Chains A and B, each alone.
Chain A
Amino acid sequence: DTGVSQDPRHKITKRGQNVTFRCDPISEHNRLYWYRQTLGQGPEFLTYFQNEAQLEKSRLLSDRFSAERPKGSFSTLEIQRTEQGDSAMYLCASSFGQGDNSPLHFGNGTRLTVT
């Protein structure tokens, strides 16, 4: 169990640029989640995959955001035409289970700063 890995740890970009983040979940975990955390707030749900299927997307996930999980392994989160309001910590989590309340295992996040 090597834990959930996220890359990069930090990303600074200029407004209007596209960015992509990667998440490698714990290998046997079939569920993968993306959360976003801004200063002074708790993590907010963005989207959730079971295997390769994206089963839910939050209203927070605007058209500029897209997430994929090809082959049900790693996942990518892309933000197009970044805005300053996108600055946040993007957290990936994974879990294993079928319709139960398996706890989420979080990575250390990717901190995005949009200038």
Chain B
Amino acid sequence: DQQVKQNSPSLSVQEGRISILNCDYTNSMFDYFLWYKKYPAEGPTFLISISSIKDKNEDGRFTVFLNKSAKHLSLHIVPSQPGDSAVYFCAANYGGYQKVTFGIGTKLQVIP
């Protein structure tokens, strides 16, 4: 039962353009959402998060959008850089509960 779904296994974007990574969730109890980035042979690294009381959170080149009615969130990276090439995991939890549920990841390739 995949409660957090990332339906695009991979994405290729030209350097300087926008990267949009999508994530859907099924558990209505989720109230906190996170994105992690993972390089090969390393553990995931926290990137950005958003609470369900917001619909947008921005941190530099990274913006996360949340559409609660559609149970959908997206991560925008503008402008994309070759160093952004990594696997991006969408994750969610609820009520400060420490069990974070992850999606299967989307592999982003930024082409110079």
Chain A residues within 8 Å of B69, by CB: none
* Nearest opposing residue in chain B for A3, CB measure: B43
- Chain B residue contacts of A99, Cβ below 8 A: 96
Q: Is the CB of A106 within 8 A of B99?
A: no
| Chain B interface residue number, banded | 20 to 34
Q: Does B78 contact A (CB under 8 A)?
A: no
Q: Which residues of B contact A44 (CB under 8 A)?
A: 102
User: 7 nearest interchain CB pairs?
Assistant: A106-B43, A42-B102, A103-B46, A99-B96, A101-B32, A45-B99, A43-B102
Partner pick for B100 among A40, A55, A104, CB 8 A cutoff? A104
**Contact, CB under 8 Å: A4 / B49:** no
Total residues of chain A contacting the partner, CB 8 A: 27
Task: Report which A residues bind B (CB closer than 8 A).
Answer: 4, 31, 33, 40-45, 48, 50, 55-56, 58, 91, 93, 95, 99-101, 103-109
Q: Which of B1-54 contact A (CB under 8 A)?
A: 4, 6, 32, 34, 36, 41-46, 49, 51
User: B49 touches which one: A40, A56, A95, A101 (CB < 8 A)?
Assistant: A101
| 26 residue pairs A–B, Cβ–Cβ below 8 Å | A4-B43, A31-B98, A40-B104, A42-B89, A42-B91, A42-B104, A42-B105, A43-B89, A43-B102, A44-B102, A45-B99, A48-B99, A56-B99, A99-B96, A100-B96, A101-B32, A101-B49, A101-B96, A103-B49, A104-B36, A104-B46, A105-B46, A106-B36, A106-B43, A106-B45, A107-B43
